Each structure stands twice: as C-alpha cells, then as structure tokens.
Structure 1
Amino acid sequence: MKTAFTVLCSLAILTAVGTGTAFADAGVDPVAAENVRTEFDFEQGHFIYDVEFAAKGTEYGYWIQASDGSVVKKKIELIGAGGSKTGITAAITQKDARKIALQDAGLTEAEVSISSEKLDTENGVAVYEVDFVKGNVKYEYDINATTGAVYSKSS
C-alpha cells in the first residue's frame, strides 16, 4: 500500500512538472487555463506528458519530455469567433525563437530586455514576434514558427 501511494505521489509531481513547463512556455497563468488535460504516454521513442489546455482564446497542445521537462512538440491554435480555429501551429518553441533572434542580432539574453513575445501570422505564415531592447535600440523580429528562419527583422 505504501509503495502504491509513493508511486501515485511521484506521478502527480511529475505530471505537475510537465504541465508547469507547458504553462511557462505558453506564458499562461495556470489559474487562467481551462480544460486542462495531462496524460503520460510514449510517443516517437520518448516518454512524454501530453498536455492540452485552453486560455484566452487559444488552444495549446504540448508533448513534454518526461525525463527532463523539455518541450518536444507543441501545437497552438487561435480560436476565432464562434469557436472556429485559425490553425496556427508551431514546430519550434517560443524560447527557440528568442534564441534565434538574439543570435541574429549578435546579443545575449543578459544584454537585452524582452518587451514582447507572441505567436501570430504574417501573410499566412506562422511566426513568433520577438521584440527586445538594448539601450535605446528596439529590435523587432518575426521568426518562422515552422522552420526557425528569420522571416523579418528591424531595429
């Protein structure tokens, strides 16, 4: 009985870690999340937590690596009027997009202040909009959410 309780407690803690990673990556306060579903699964050679939730007109789906809490895959869909989905999906994470933009600018995260990050579309292409400031210079990047390529940039 004690072993079963320990296993259940361990699974609950690990599930919370997986869900917490998804909330953090999405920038969603867990209190604002609705329809939260977490499932432990084995996909494409990985033990993962399959996490799904909705918040602020957006549905999120994540695969979180069970061993280290990293994001394996994510899908984000904006929900339009009447509950229709716009179909924005991302193959890279918001954190990856930030790294790509900073590397392109020749800067590090410690040198800048991130002012905005969000997933959006530009001319039908899913992009992460990453805006940051260093000194009196504002950088604006659109990073292709599928390929990770710099879609557009300005400073």
Structure 2
Amino acid sequence: MKKFNKLGKSLIGAATVTCMLFAAGMTGVPYYGSSFVAKSKVSKSYKAAKKITADEAKRIALAHAKLAEKDVTFVKVELELEDNNRYEYDIDFYSGNVEYDYEIDAVSGAILSADKDIENYVIPTQPSTSAANTQTSEISVERAKQIALSHAGVGSARFKKAKLDYENSIKVYEIEFKVGNLEYEYDINVSNGAIISSSVEVDD
C-alpha cells in the first residue's frame, strides 16, 4: 500500500510538471522568445552598420546647398533614430537670412529631405530731404540687383531678368536670377528700394 502511494505520488508529480510545461507553451512563451530574438537582431544590425560622421553629414548638406562652411552658422546637427528604425542626421544652418533644413541618412549619406526658407523683411525707406527729391529720386537697376542679392544672402548670381514694370500701379524692377539650382524672383520699388515681393524655387 505504501509502495502504491509512493508510485501514485510520482505519477501525479510527473503529470503536474507535464501540464505546467504544456500550459507554458500555450501561453506563448516560445513566441515571446522568438520576438525577443528578432528585436535583438534588428538592434545589432543597426549598431553594426557603419555610419557617417556628423562632419561628413555637414559636408553633404553644404555641398548640396553650394555653400562653404565659413559662410554658414550651424544651429543643429543631431543624430536621431526615427520610427522607421533608420538613423538620420537632422541638420539646420543659416547663411545670411536664409535658413536651410536637411535630413540625411546616417548610413548611406543620402539626402532624405532638403528645405530652405527666406525670412521676409523690407528694406527701410530712406527719407528724402525734400518733396522734389522724393518725386525725382529713383534707384538704379544695379542698386535693385544688389538689394535682391543682399536679401537672398548671396554675393553674386546669373541674372535672367532686370527690367522696369508696374505692380498694382507701383513702378518696380522685376529681378530674376539663379544661384546653383535655385531660382529667385523679386519685385523692388523703384522709388525707395523696398522689396514688394520675393520668392525662391528649386529649378529641377
């Protein structure tokens, strides 16, 4: 009888262990384990991937913008891991009054996005000494070109247009020029040099 009880207890114990192992399998322990391994592989592959340096990313952005490092002011150069598990450099810098924003793949060095914005402002009108001077004084087309270049933050450009025109009954110079793959357009008041409108587009 004691022998039977001992044997019975052994069988019950083995059955209990078997049930626990079976239950553990049913509750997804193997799935959790495989998920963990997959995540580890992704993480290791990104860690092992050779990334460009921040200086290399800056050079890529500057080359695209056709600017020298001495002519710009960097405000942000950050390496970030995006939601799509891609490492990117987020780069912001200024040249004159133009702000440039770049996103660069940290592994391949490819430019993922590029953007530039010109901060709008109007050159203040210089007060004339007399009413007669106000009526007769007009800026030259060369002065209008310089105003446009200064506003664009560039030293020189290839001009496509520089002519007199009227915008809403105001006498203006229509100025168009290109710098690299960027095309600029300005309307400048002939009487006082104020910028009536300005725009910049990427010319593909």
Identify, as 1 or 2, the structure richer in strand.
Answer: 1
TM-score by length of 2: 0.37
TM-score by length of 1: 0.47
Identify, as 1 or 2, the structure richer in helix.
Answer: 2
Structure with more relative contact order (C-alpha pairs < 8 Å, separation 6 or more): 1
